């Protein structure tokens, strides 16, 4: 089973840049989207249906903002929208589907880069999300959490760790949160299989950052320990360009 996670930074813009054709050629079984920036009625669902996908969307209530979605060749046994937190569900940040015997999330963590208020909200989200997943793990041990975490875990995951040590997304408290989250039973699939540096999933639009590979690895496909025997491969598809992020690839044995 091949899974793609992709912050597309606006699904309508990504489709205009050839997202549909790319999916037609790559044929993933599941696609997790983040940052839809669209309401359901604004999404060209016929494009995805023509490719054989069932589709599930959880947009933000604020137009042109945030939002997550999942495409799946297999119909979901269950779909859950949000995580039971009014503010974060208003922003459309978490969606879950159950297929086979595992649960899969597409998540879009808040960014704190716009100022102290949003950074404080981001830290609130981190606490709420960990508590939410801790509770969920009591009933399901086979879990995949795909998405944009807006956190670089280690120095290897960012092009300039020294200058960015006080930047949102690489703050010590954010990195510590990710340490704790992983130690609670999750595996960073890419880093589990790949130790090479200079592999990033997001680049600023400024100063030709992508051309210079001045990036950040802030997108992850995490799996629970129970799924580790199923892990086959993981990669960052950094040559694919429909967004300021690139897709993440995960292959599991199912």
> Has 89 been annotated as catalytic?
no
Q: How confident is the model at residue 3 (pLDDT cuts 50, 70, 90)?
A: very high
Following DSSP, what letter does each residue of 16-73 receive, concatenated?
Answer: HTTHHHHHHHH--SEEEEE---S-GGGS-HHHHHHTT-EEEEE--SSTTS--EEEEES
Is the confidence at residue 25, as pLDDT, over 90? yes
Is the confidence at residue 15, as pLDDT, over 90? yes
> pLDDT of 211-234, one tens digit each?
999 999 999 999 999 999 999 999
Cβ–Cβ under 8 Å, residues 232 and 2: no
Neighbouring C-beta atoms of residue 50, cutoff 10 Å? 11
For residues 57-61, average pLDDT: 97
- State the pTM of this model: 0.97
142 CB burial (10 A radius; 0-12, 13-18, 19+): middle
Identify which has the larger pLDDT, 28 or 113: 28
Q: Which of 70, 14, 63 is nearest to 41 (CA)?
A: 63
The predicted pLDDT at position 114 comes to: 87
Q: Which domains does the chain have, with CATH numbers?
A: 2-252 (3.60.10.10)
The predicted pLDDT at position 237 comes to: 98
The Cα–Cα gap between 28 and 143 comes to: 19
Is the confidence at residue 113, as pLDDT, over 90? no
Q: How confident is the model at residue 204 (pLDDT cuts 50, 70, 90)?
A: very high
Name the average pLDDT for the chain: 97
Q: What region, left, alpha or beta, does residue 137 occupy, with left being phi > 0 and alpha being psi -120 to 50 degrees?
A: alpha
Catalytic position from the list 98, 101, 148, 244: 148
Is the confidence at residue 101, as pLDDT, over 90? yes
> Tokens for 135?
């509770």
Cβ–Cβ under 8 Å, residues 36 and 67: yes
Q: How confident is the model at residue 196 (pLDDT cuts 50, 70, 90)?
A: very high
> pLDDT of 67-100, one tens digit each?
999 999 999 999 999 999 999 999 999 999 999 9
For residues 1-12, average pLDDT: 98
Following DSSP, what letter does each residue of the chain receive, concatenated?
Answer: -EEEEEE-S-HHHHHHTTHHHHHHHH--SEEEEE---S-GGGS-HHHHHHTT-EEEEE--SSTTS--EEEEESSPPSEEEES-S-HHHHHTT-EEEEEETTEEEEEEEPPP-TT-HHHHHHHHHHHHHHHHHHHHHTTT---EEEEEE-----SGGGBS-TTTTTTSTTS-HHHHHHHHHHHHTTEEEHHHHH---SS--SEE-SGGGTTTTT-EE--EEEEEEGGGGGGEEEEEE-TT--SSSB--EEEEE--
Phi, psi of 186 (to 5 degrees): -120, 155
> pLDDT of 174-194, one tens digit each?
999 999 999 999 999 999 999
Q: How far is CA 66 from the centre of its chain?
A: 12
Is the confidence at residue 249, as pLDDT, over 90? yes
Is the confidence at residue 106, as pLDDT, over 90? yes
For residues 39-63, average pLDDT: 96
> pLDDT of 118-130, one tens digit each?
999 999 999 999 9
Phi, psi of 207 (to 5 degrees): 55, 35
């Amino acid at each position: 089973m091949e899974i793609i996670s992709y912050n597309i930074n606006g699904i309508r813009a990504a489709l205009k840049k050839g997202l549909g054709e790319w999916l037609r050629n790559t044929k993933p079984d599941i696609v997790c989207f983040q940052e839809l920036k669209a309401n359901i009625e604004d999404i060209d669902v016929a494009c995805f249906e023509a490719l054989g996908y069932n589709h599930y969307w959880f947009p933000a209530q604020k137009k042109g903002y945030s939002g997550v979605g999942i495409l799946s060749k297999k119909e979901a046994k269950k779909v859950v929208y949000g995580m039971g937190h009014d503010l974060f569900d208003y922003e459309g940040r978490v969606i879950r589907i159950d297929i086979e015997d595992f649960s899969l999330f597409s998540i879009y963590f808040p960014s704190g880069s716009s100022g102290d208020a949003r950074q404080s909200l981001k830290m609130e989200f981190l606490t709420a999300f960990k508590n939410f997943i801790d509770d969920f793990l009591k009933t399901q041990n086979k879990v995949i959490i795909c998405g944009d975490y807006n956190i670089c875990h280690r120095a290897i995951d960012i092009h300039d760790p020294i200058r960015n040590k006080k930047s949102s997304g690489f703050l010590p408290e954010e990195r510590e949160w990710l340490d704790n989250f992983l130690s609670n039973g999750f595996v960073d699939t890419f880093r589990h299989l790949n130790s090479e540096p200079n592999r990033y999933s997001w680049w600023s639009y400024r100063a030709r950052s992508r051309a210079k590979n001045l990036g950040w690895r802030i997108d992850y496909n995490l799996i629970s320990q129970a799924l580790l025997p199923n892990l086959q491969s993981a990669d960052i598809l950094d040559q694919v360009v429909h967004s300021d992020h690139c897709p993440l690839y995960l292959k599991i044995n199912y």
